[in-house]
Amino acid sequence: MTIDQSLFQRTPVPIALLDAQLTFVDFSDRWLNHFGLSRNTLGKPFFESMPKLPEELKLDIDYCLEGVSFRTDSMRVILENGDSVWYEWKIDSVKDDDEEVSGVILVLEDVTEKKLDEAHLKKSQEVARIGGWEVDLLMNTIYWSNITREIHEVSNDYVPNLEEGILFYKEGHSRETITRLVKEGIEYGTPWDTELQIVTAKGKNLWVRAIGEPEMIDGKCVRITGTFQDIERRKKAEIEHKNISKRLALATKASGIGIWEYDVQNNEIFWDPNMYMLYGIEASNFEGVYEAWQACVLPEDSERTSNAVQDAIEGKREFNTTFRVRWPNDEVRWIKAEATVIRDEKGAALRMIGANTDITELKTAQLQLVTSEESLQGAFENSSVGMALVGMDGRFIQVNQSFCHSLGYTNSELLKLTFQDITHPDDLEIDLALLREVVEGKRSTYQIEKRYFDKKGQLVYVLLTVTSVKKIDGEISHFISQIVDISSRITAEKKLKGLLQLTTNQNNSLLNFAHIVSHNLRSHAANLTMISEFLLDETLAKEERKDTLTMLGRASHGLNETIAHLNEVVQVKLETEKKLKVVPLRKTVDKILMDVHALINENNIQVRVDVPNEMNIKGVAAYMESIILNLVTNAIKYRDHKKECTLTIYANAEGQYIELIVEDNGLGIDLERYGQKLFGMYKTFHGNKDARGIGLFITKNQIESMGGRIEVESEINIGTKFRVKLLKA
């Protein structure tokens, strides 16, 4: 080794000397620094001491050891962690005196960073489509880089001259501009940086950025270097942006959207022309400060609006509000405002940028809608018709006061129920059937008369109208039920029916009366007429005259009696609706049985009484006595002599009535035959000598005058049962 050791070590490149066995013989200080090694690496094997190196380096060292004098290359090695490291090397073989290779001198450098920079530059030039060019004015030659050629869409071997270069620029503005710039550059050394259009070799229009830097020597331009960049996309985007902005400006103007900006820190407000229109003021009348805007806002909305601005600035909530402004002509307009807040990196609000639109028409329509909804709601709530929204399952969704009132439930009670819960069972089926038809689309509405039970369990008669409400998709969402409470009408109807019945009864009584007059009074009158004629007849035999006088007495007696009966009947009729008093039923029965006990004993009648002591009826005591007496004596009168006679008197409470039953096992009445006449006046059916045909007639009248009824059940030879319904006290 003949190399000066110290000189080797001080060489300012990473250099190492290896023997034929590839152990370190020496290295420069720069080597140690570069690879982070210490001097005692000396004598150690090269590859074991170094980090991972490219395979190609090993091969090149081997080549040199085998006699190749010089190798150089740059390659990268991929480390296990995926990083790549670029190495550049130069290898020289070292020979001894015998011309034998005894080792190698190696210069090795990590050039990763350099390599990356290069790669980035190239890449970025490719991506940015930046080409280079140079014009040598002395030689009058022109150089274009590959990208420059690509941009011009010429072949790689194309060499232009200056004139040709200029002719690529589009005729007109672009060509004139570049001609002038090049001229100025050559004459005065003025650099340029401009954006112009070229027409490529293939005829495509393209925007480019051209930069030129003239190089002057002794006031004369010798060379111009520059770059050439394809900016078509950016330019296009720019133009597009310009167009969009223009369109936006047009659109905002047309739509009346006002754009504003508020410089929060400096209290400056900038308005576009639309803003002035929205606020109905001239630009010259607007001071451009926050307070000036505030002054435009209607006082009622001022505080709320200011708070909204403040909240937006503090970042509490988005600025999105509506408020009213008053124009100078006092017209009030609704404004909808939205804005975004722009902040610095610390979050402090710098500016607000926003838009205003006039929504007066919308707001007016909205208010009208709200008003109509409110009035609808009001109509629903205050309607005298009971209204309910009913779900598909029959549940009440919403009910109004009238509905609640009719049914006696509170609102919240009804909302827990379905209509099925409160419908009379007999009316449910028809209601459900009709509802099903609505659901199936066979009809859209129906109306029925039905009965509900109110909260107290009383029947409520209603006229129900059900209408379906459909969703947008046509499915039924719920039903509207309207009920008109017709209970009072039904009650009135019933009352009317009652009155009609009463009238019919009275009419019947009148007919009866006419009949009585016709048959009974007249029969006596006729008898009297006939007899008096006989008495006037001179030829009448003595015996006959005597008989005739007897007959006269009987006839006048009969007339008297009939008149007395009639009087009795008339009396009952006249005293109808007489003040009814409480009459103890048991006491009355007992009193009558006491009165007729001689008759009972005489005829050996078995009497059983089962009338509770506490039972009281509403009636007239004298009538009650007369009624019971009549029924008891009838039972005795028409007893069956062949039987052991029984008489049973008992009573049942039945709702607002008490039913008094007088039952015997006597002769019975053929009701099929006499049923209709049983209670008529002067109807007797047995030919009994005591029968006067007046008792049951009066009894019936007395009972009816006390608001009661009498019915009879009877079978011949089995017995008769009179049922007397009386008002319970």
Partner 1 sequence: MSQLQSACIVDDDPIHLFGMKILMKRLDFSDEVLVFQNGQEAIDGLLDRLGAGKPLPLVIFLDLNMPIKDGWGFLDDFVKIPHHNRERVTIYVVSSSIHPLDQERAKKYEVVGNYIIKPVNEQELKQILVGKD
Q: Which residues bind partner 1 (CB under 8 A)?
A: 514-515, 518-520, 522-523, 525-527, 529-531, 533-534, 544, 547-548, 551, 554-555, 558, 673, 682-687, 691, 693
- What's at 540, amino acid-wise? L
Q: Contact 599/562 with Cβ under 8 angstroms?
A: no
Least distance between partner 1 and beta carbon 649 (Å): 27
Question: 522 vs 597, which CB is nearer to partner 1?
Answer: 522
* Residue with smaller CB distance to partner 1, 237 or 530: 530
How is residue 202 written in tokens? 């293939």
* Alpha carbon distance 236, 239 (integer Å): 5
| Residue in 226, 161, 165 with CA at minimum distance from that of residue 190 | 226
The answer to whether the CB of 156 falls within 8 A of the CB of 149 is: yes
Least distance from partner 1 to the Cβ atom of residue 529, Å: 5
Cα 413 from chain centroid? Answer: 23
Are the C-beta atoms of 431 and 408 separated by less than 8 Å? no
Do β-strands 192-199 and 205-217 pair in parallel, antiparallel, or remain unpaired?
antiparallel
Q: In this complex, which beta carbon is closest to partner 1, that of residue 698 or of residue 726?
A: 698
Instruction: Calculate ∠ Cα 403-405-410, nearest 5°.
Output: 85
Q: How far is the CB of 458 from partner 1 (least distance, A)?
A: 46
- Which lies closer to partner 1 via its Cβ, residue 47 or residue 685? 685
Sort strands 646-654 and 606-610 into parallel, antiparallel or unpaired. Answer: parallel
Shortest reach from residue 551's CB to partner 1, in Å: 5
Determine which helix (DSSP H) or strand (DSSP E) holds 158, and give its type and residue range.
none
> How far is the C-alpha of 2 from the C-alpha of 286, rounded, in Å?
93
Which is nearer to partner 1, 121 or 525 (by Cβ)?
525
Instruction: Give the closest residue to 309 by CA, choosing from 370, 353, 367, 249.
Output: 353
Q: Tell the smallest beta-carbon distance from residue 715 to partner 1 (Å).
A: 18
Q: Give yes or no for a contact between 209 and 193, defined as CB atoms under 8 angstroms apart.
A: yes
506 and 499 in contact (C-beta within 8 Å)? no
Query: By C-beta, is 247 or 686 nearer to partner 1?
Result: 686
Which parts of 129-172 fold into alpha helices (H)? 146-152, 162-167
Shortest reach from residue 441's CB to partner 1, in Å:
60
User: In angstroms, what is the minimal distance from the CB of 638 to partner 1?
Assistant: 13
Q: Which two tokens stand for residue 505?
A: 């009864």
How near is the Cβ of 522 to partner 1 at its closest, in Å? 4
Nearer to partner 1, 59 or 514 (CB): 514
Q: Looking at the DSSP assignment, which residues form a beta bridge with residue 183?
A: none
For residue 690, the minimal CB distance to partner 1 (Å) is: 12
Q: How far is the CB of 549 from partner 1 (least distance, A)?
A: 11
DSSP state of 45: B
Q: What residues contact residue 690 under an 8 Å CB cut-off, 6+ apart?
A: 637
Min dist CB 665 to partner 1, Å, is: 21
Q: Which is nearer to partner 1, 271 or 679 (CB)?
A: 679
In angstroms, give the least distance from the CB of 502 to partner 1. Answer: 23
Place of tokens 């709702």: 655
- DSSP E strands, 392-497: 396-399, 445-453, 459-470, 476-485
CB closer to partner 1, 683 vs 723:
683
* Cα 164-165-169 angle, rounded to 5 deg: 105
Report the residue number, 408 or 558, with the smaller CB distance to partner 1.
558
Residue 436, helix vs strand vs coil: helix
- 592 vs 608: CA distance, rounded Å: 14
- By C-beta, is 514 or 582 nearer to partner 1? 514
Whole-angstrom Cα distance, residue 439 to residue 479? 10
Complex with partner 1: residue 482 or 720, whichever CB lies closer:
720
If the CB atoms of residues 426 and 538 are measured against partner 1, the closer one turns out to be: 538
Longest Cα separation, the chain: 213
Q: Residue 463 has which token pair? A: 């006229």
Least Å distance, CB 423 to partner 1, is 49
